[in-house]
Amino acid sequence: MSSLKEYATFFGQFRERFETTGAIAPSSRFLARSMTRYLRARPADGPPVRVLEIGPGTGAVTGTIVKHIRENDRFDLVELNEAFADHLKQRFETNTVWNRVANQSTVHVAPLQEFSSDGPYDFVISGLPLNNFPADLVDDIFEHYFKHLLPGGILSYFEYQFVRSIRTRIGAKSERARLKSIDKTMGDYCSKQRIRRDWIFPNIPPAWVQHLQKPED
């Protein structure tokens, strides 16, 4: 039943707010496992960590994150869409697995640029539909990604495979310019800080996950 409600919530918001939803279906479990790769791989005897999820939507990736939140960890979620945020809050109240970490977790209803925290994060996991945004907003978002990361912290975000290259070929002139600017922003960050890229074919549409690390210095 919770899965049906998640899809109903997702499709309702997709119809109303495509520009900020950006997908036609919730992320697959394969994509969720990739997005949480480094969180899941931390040492069993390691210190507590702080996790920030940006644009969690209905919680397709959140459901994997909460399974790996340990005692004394901190988990913050930043979601602009109020309907999605309400859905997430309800899941923390009613879902047994989510409720286990409810006291360590907070859903913040705000754009990333207006979110402030009491400290940086070990992991930033983002589901924002970056290819839908103005180019200058993508620049700003990446600055905030790394602003919220600890030195050595890891950013994981996804995008659909070849979307920019296809839309650059068939789009109007202004659209091509926007996408080329976004591609340059992402390319600059990836060329300097990417530590891994995962190809996720069992997803609708197929995606890849980029993992970037903030320099220690």
Domains of the chain, start order: 27-213 (3.40.50.150)
- In the chain, % of residues over pLDDT 90: 79
- In the chain, % of residues over pLDDT 70: 88
Task: Over range 84-97, report the average pLDDT.
Answer: 97
Q: Which of 149, 196, 147, 207 is nearest to 37 (CA)?
A: 196
Asked if residues 35 and 63 have their Cβ atoms less than 8 Å apart, the reply is no
Query: What six digits make up the tokens of 161?
Result: 């495979």
d(CA 3, CA 133): 28
Chain segment 10-21, per-residue pLDDT in tens: 444 443 444 444
3 has a pLDDT exceeding 70: no
Task: Over range 175-204, report the average pLDDT.
Answer: 95
What is the model's pLDDT at position 78? Answer: 98
What is the model's pLDDT at position 152? Answer: 98
Q: Which residues contact 80 (CB under 8 A, 6 or more apart)?
A: 20, 55, 109, 110, 111
Residue 163's pLDDT band, with cuts at 50, 70 and 90, is: confident
CA angle 48, 52, 56 (to 5 degrees): 135
What is the average pLDDT value for the chain, to the nearest integer? 89
Chain segment 58-85, per-residue pLDDT in tens: 999 999 999 999 999 999 999 999 999 9
Environment class of 63 (CB within 10 Å of its CB; exposed 0-12, middle 13-18, buried 19+): buried
Residue 120's pLDDT band, with cuts at 50, 70 and 90, is: very high
What is the model's pLDDT at position 25? Answer: 58
What is the model's pLDDT at position 7? Answer: 40
What is the model's pLDDT at position 143? Answer: 98
